[in-house]
Amino acid sequence: MRVQLFATCLVDTFFPETGEAVVKLLRHYGVDIGYPKEQTCCGKPPNSAGYRKEARKAAEHFISVFDGTDPIVIPSGSCASMVKNHYPDLFKDDPKMFRKAEAVARRTFEFSQFLVHVLKAHESGFPNGRGKITYHASCQLTRELGVRTEPIELLNSINGAQFVPMKNADRCCGFGGVFMGKMPEISMALADDKVDSILETKTDIVTGCDHGCLMNIMDATKRRGAGFEVKHLAVVLAEAL
C-alpha cells in the first residue's frame, strides 16, 4: 500500500521526530510513503481567523500537490479536519474545485484513524510499552472528525503500558490556533486546568494527536514544573514497536 504523507507545519518546523515516528510506524506495516516536497501548510490558521481568500490559496496548493488516488495521512486532527471538512466548504461556489476538494477530503485520514481503520494496528498491538499514559482528546479531532475511540484503542493495545483516562479529556486545552496569541491569558489558564487534569491521573506521559495542543500543554507543564512527558501519539506508538 502507498500513502502520501502531509507532515503539517508544526511537525515540520518544531517536532520533526514526530514525523519520523509516523514514518517508522507506517513502514512497519509495509506502507510505502510518498512525501510531496512541495507541501506547505493546509491553511488552517487563516481559515480559523476568517481569511477565506488566503485559506483558499493554501487549499488550492494542497489539492494540486496531493494529486492521485493514494490515501493522505496527516498526524493532526485539526489539519485533517481542515482538509476533510473545510476544503469543500471553501470551494462551495466553484463546482470544479469543489469536486476536487471533495475527492481530496475522501482520501484524507487523520493518523490514528488510518492506523485503526485501514491498518488495524490496534489488533496486532504494540509489544514494548512502558509506564502509565493519559490522553488529551483534541477539539477538531473529537468534534469535527468524530475520532473519539481510535487513539484509546491504540493506547489500550500497547503491551506493558497502562492507559489512564483523564477528567474532562475532551475539554479544550486553550490552544485554539490564533487564539493562543490573541488571548494568551485565557489560553494559559485553560492549559493550567489541563495540566491539573493530567496531574490527577498520576501518569508518566500525556499524549494526543495534535501538536498545537501538545505544545500548549508542554508550555504549561514547564511553567508548573510538572514531571510528566508530553508526546505525540505517533511517538508513543513508535517507541512501543
Site residues, other proteins (CB under 8 A)? 7, 11-16, 19-20, 23, 35, 37-41, 43, 45-54, 57-58, 60-61, 139-140, 143-144, 170-172, 174-177, 179-190, 193, 215-216, 218-219
Contacts of 16 (CB under 8 A, 6+ apart): none
Q: How far is the CB of 6 from other proteins (least distance, A)?
A: 11
Distance (Å, rounded) from C-alpha 91 to C-alpha 101? 7
Please report how close the Cβ of residue 27 comes to other proteins at its closest, in angstroms. Answer: 12
Nearer to other proteins, 132 or 218 (CB): 218
Question: In 16-107, where does DSSP find H-type helix?
Answer: 16-28, 44-49, 52-65, 77-81, 87-90, 95-107
Nearer to other proteins (CB atom), residue 164 or residue 215: 215
Query: Is residue 49 within 8 Å of 178, Cβ to Cβ?
Result: yes
Q: How far is the CB of 96 from other proteins (least distance, A)?
A: 19
* Min separation Cβ 189 and other proteins, Å: 5
For residues 210-232, b (16+ Cβ closer than 10 Å) or e, as one string? Answer: bbbbbbbbbbbbeeeebebbbbb
Q: Residue 53 or 96: which CB sits closer to other proteins?
A: 53
Max CA distance (Å), the chain: 52
By C-beta, is 54 or 239 nearer to other proteins?
Answer: 54
CA distance 135 to 167: 10
Given phi > 0 = left and psi -120 to 50 = alpha, else beta, which region is 214? alpha
CB of 70 to other proteins, least distance (A): 16
CB of 215 to other proteins, least distance (A): 6
CB nearer to other proteins: give 16 or 127: 16
d(CA 229, CA 221): 9
Tell me whether residue 141 or residue 158 sits nearer to other proteins (CB atom): 141
Helix (H, G, I), strand (E, B) or coil at 241: coil
